[in-house]
Structure 1
Amino acid sequence: MNDRAPAPGGLALIQDLVNTLDIEARTDELDTEAGRERFGLAPADVDAARELRESLRAVCLAHAGHAPHQEVRPLGELLAGAPLLVRVDGSDGAASLVPAAPGPLVSRVAAAVAEAVVAGTWSRLKGCEAETCRWAYYDRSPGGRGRWCDMGVCGARAKMRAYRARRGPGRVRATGATGAADPAPPAGPSDTP
């Protein structure tokens, strides 16, 4: 659904993981071998990956000011057991957090979160407001107030629903070729009580 550019740095991993579930299409990439391979998961790891994904989605929704989509285990609890190491580059002294052991998804996610917190980008990874979407996207708007993954789809749908709600039932009329609203038809015998 999302037509935006991928999130920067390690946030791309988190964005990709959250977006393995397509709520509207009711498909889950973690159900496929290719989807599991993308994240280095064995079939036995899928339940834990799904729990991590939904906790990440809840945080992304919170970043955008939306209520959680469902009851989830707090992300902090899931990341607490992820062993990380500080890696210092000998050539320039740059330091970064990296997973202590290669492979575990939770450790890679924890390292990505830490990197994003330091970079000041963590709160820009958001969850789409649309209940049929909830896609993760990186908000590049100047004020950081993006609400939808794609303004042309989810945003347009939300704005159209709001417009229709403001207009109220029975207030929408057909438009003519000029785009102007056609006048209401005159009251006839069938329109009177």
Structure 2
Amino acid sequence: MEEKEPAPGGLALIEALVNTLDVESGTDALDTEENRTRFGLTPADTPGARELREALRATLLAHAGHHPATGPRPPELGRLLTAAPLTITIAPDGGATLAPSPTAPGAPALTARVAAAITEALLAGVWHRLKCCEAETCHWAYYDRSPASRGRWCSMSVCGARAKMRTYRARTRPA
């Protein structure tokens, strides 16, 4: 996949987590110790992290206006996030911050970091800009920087070009 600027703030964590699975090749970066460590996970945390990843992917597909392919239903993101160990801190000026509980380990800590990132993005009005590519062989997470927030593909030069070429060929195919 072509390298793009990562999503802003905490959304970069979500983008990175969703992109641990290369849908086209079936390669799962969470299979490696190095990548599990990157997310603060142990081998025992991996199934929970994968469940969270697929719930996020389903949500990001919905942000882009598509629905996941038929098959097993992904877990509901809201249900997973209700278990996130979070702490609310109130500042002397009355401001508040939501952060992962400092005592949370592994998958619960990752879930809390995701919940805090979503909250931050909601408050900033940018949560809907994190999407997954429309291409069924891709579903790569990307941050939609288009002015109208109508991006459909992770890359116009790869997935977008393929989709447009398929549409063109279907339109110009002899009857």
Q: Give the Å deviation of 1:33.
A: 0.5
TM (normalized to structure 2)?
A: 0.91
Give the helix-richer structure, 1 or 2: 2
Unaligned runs of 5+ in 1: 171-193
Runs of 4+ aligned residues of structure 1 deviating over 6 Å after TM superposition are none
Secondary structure at the residue paired with 2:152? coil
Paired residue for 1:142, among 147, 151, 157?
A: 147
Equivalent-residue separation in structure 1 for 2:100 and 2:39 (angstroms): 14
Q: Report how many residues are paired.
A: 169
Q: Is the 8 A contact 1:3 1:149 kept in 2?
A: no
Bigger Cα Rg? 1
Q: Give the Å deviation of 1:140.
A: 0.6
Secondary structure at the residue paired with 1:55? helix
Shifted more, 135-144 versus 64-73: the winner is 64-73
Identify the residue that residue 84 of structure 2 maps to in structure 1: 82
Equivalent-residue separation in structure 2 for 1:141 and 1:42 (angstroms): 37
Secondary structure at the residue paired with 2:88? strand
Identify the residue that residue 26 of structure 1 maps to in structure 2: 26
Within-5 A mapping of 1:159-178:
159-169=164-174
TM (normalized to structure 1)?
A: 0.83
Structure 1 residues 73-125: Cα deviation after superposition (integer angstroms, max 9, x where no partner): 110000011121122445x6542210123541111111111111111111000
Instruction: Give the partner amino acid of 1:28.
Output: D
Q: Give the Å deviation of 1:5.
A: 1.2
Equivalent-residue separation in structure 1 for 2:32 and 2:174 (angstroms): 44
Equivalent-residue separation in structure 2 for 1:167 and 1:21 (angstroms): 35
- What is the aligned-residue RMSD (CA, Å)? 1.5
Q: Give the Å deviation of 1:137.
A: 0.3
Identify the residue that residue 119 of structure 1 maps to in structure 2: 124
Identify the residue that residue 151 of structure 1 maps to in structure 2: 156
